[in-house]
Amino acid sequence: MSFRARQRLRLAGLPTDKEIGKALCKGPDGQIAGGPVAEGHMYGVTIPVSCPPGYNPVGTWHTHPGGVVEPSPEDWEMTRKLGFRYLCVTVPETGQTQCLDARRHRK
């Protein structure tokens, strides 16, 4: 991720005392939109599978305050259970973001 993109995330003021997350939704022309943002606690967030009209959920994004940008085993389990393809994690303190493709992830 570029320095500029990191700056934008930092300016967005992501909370560092709790995880937040949202569904990633794909529109009819392939554009990506986010669902409503859910707030969780320090070690987890329940992400609502909710998308704007005409969009289908394809993944999730959430934060790991004070943590690593690597998804946890629970994150992968949730992604598989929901049949989602994309799993994105951001560390709010650094703005570091990683998006992984479940089809390419083997464990």
75: contact with Zn ion by CB under 5 A: yes
Q: Which tokens in the block code for residue 88?
A: 């994105």
Residue nearest to Zn ion (CB): 75
98: contact with Zn ion by CB under 5 A: no
Q: How far is the CB of 21 from Zn ion (least distance, A)?
A: 8
Q: What is the 3-state composition of the chain as percent helix, strand, coil, each rounded to the nearest 5?
A: 20, 30, 50
Binder to Zn ion among 50, 72, 96, 97 (CB under 5 A)? 72
Please tell me the distance from the alpha carbon of residue 59 to that of residue 25, in angstroms, as a whole number: 7
Q: How far is the CB of 44 from Zn ion (least distance, A)?
A: 7
Query: Is 27 or 85 the residue whose CB approaches Zn ion more closely?
Result: 85
Please tell me the distance from the alpha carbon of residue 21 to that of residue 36, in angstroms, as a whole number: 8
Q: What is the DSSP letter of 44?
A: B
Q: Which amino acid is present at 62?
A: H
CB 95 within 8 A of CB 10: yes
Query: Is 61 or 75 the residue whose CB approaches Zn ion more closely?
Result: 75
20: contact with Zn ion by CB under 5 A: no
Query: Is 27 or 96 the residue whose CB approaches Zn ion more closely?
Result: 96
Q: Which parts of this chain interact with Zn ion (CB under 5 A)?
A: 72, 75
